[in-house]
Amino acid sequence: MTDTSTLTPPAPSGARAHGDRLSHLDRLESESIHIIREVAATFRKPVMLYSIGKDSAVMLHLALKAFAPGRLPFPLLHVDTTWKFREMIRFRDDLAKRLGLDLIVHINQEGVADGVNPFSHGSKVHTDIMKTQALKQALDRHGFDAAFGGARRDEEKSRAKERIFSFRTKSHRWDPKNQRPELWSLFNTEIGAGESVRVFPLSNWTELDVWRYILKESIPIVPLYLAAERPVVTRDGALIMVDDDRMPLDPGEVPETRRVRFRTLGCYPLTGGIESDADSVARIIAELEASRASERQGRVIDHDQIGSMEKKKQEGYF
């Protein structure tokens, strides 16, 4: 992983053309920058939700480009469930320091006080309290009226219908029947008092686009995406990394060392790794090109029931 700081863009170059049209990644890049600028120009108090993952990394990189040579005109918000991989937190803090970012970290303290965790409360309750509720708390506390998220439409079927500007009621609910049509690139950015929008600048990107862009732009990512020897146990068929000693092991269960990487990053007890030798971004791309399993496969929360993501969204989960 080469780490060219996002603050010093590569040397000047004309965008590479294909005939008269912009190349695919250049087109996506410019469209996303357009969306990010549109929010900065029209909302009172935007925030960028930064989840430390690859999509957030790309989104942040695009935002830095959108306002260069100036600074980001909004803060970043990380909702910390306290169960993220340690490497993620380290990466987040280093990045914020290096780029001088205005980073807000929010933890649902009531959840912490109640000892909510994925083991005794189950993934559903844990996600609801430490992620969904926590996010609402943070948005309400700061009065943000627009929140960027790194979700893509190709992630999941219910996301395929998500708008780029997704309207939320005062109680942060998403109503699939009450979303605004989006025509051309004319975004309706008007909202009433207390209402807000979630904005998804990467809507039109695929997982592969994200990786190819990371490669092209040398965007730093959390090393957990790359294959390495890691201590794991097998739970319900998923390879769960034993990231710290809070993880209760069954009697006789011994973590084994396997060469794994993660396709998405979240709470370590809820994120299944895959066995892989892909130890560079180029190899990840090669692996994905041959892959037959979707990205969300490793996420424990989606399997709870058919349509579970849609329900979560209605409740205000990102």
Which residues in the 69-128 window bind other proteins by CB under 8 A?
69-71
Q: Kindly tell me which residue out of 4, 5, 7, 18 binds other proteins, with binding defined by CB under 8 A.
A: 18
Residue count, binding to other proteins (CB under 8 A): 78
End-to-end CA, the chain = 29
Comparison of 105 and 191: residue with beta carbon closer to other proteins: 191
The residue written with tokens 């069954």 in the block is: 250
Which ranges of 262-303 would DSSP assign to H, the alpha helix? 281-289
Q: Which of residues 157-196 bind other proteins (CB under 8 A)?
A: 157-161, 176-177, 179-188, 190-195
Comparison of 222 and 281: residue with beta carbon closer to other proteins: 281
Give 17's strand partners: 22
Q: At closest approach, how far in Å is the CB of 212 from other proteins?
A: 5
Comparison of 82 and 314: residue with beta carbon closer to other proteins: 314
Q: What CA–CA distance (Å, rounded) separates 135 from 80?
A: 9
CA quadruple 187, 67, 30, 296: dihedral sign: negative
- Does residue 141 touch other proteins according to CB under 8 A? no
Half-sphere exposure of 140 (CA within 13 A, CB side): 12
Mark residues 211-240: x for contact with other proteins by CB under 8 A, - for none: -x---x------------------------
Q: Which of residues 196-215 bind other proteins (CB under 8 A)?
A: 203-204, 206, 208, 212
Strands (E), 144-242: 146-148, 165-168, 196-199, 228-235, 238-241
Q: Which of residues 277-306 bind other proteins (CB under 8 A)?
A: 288-294, 297, 306
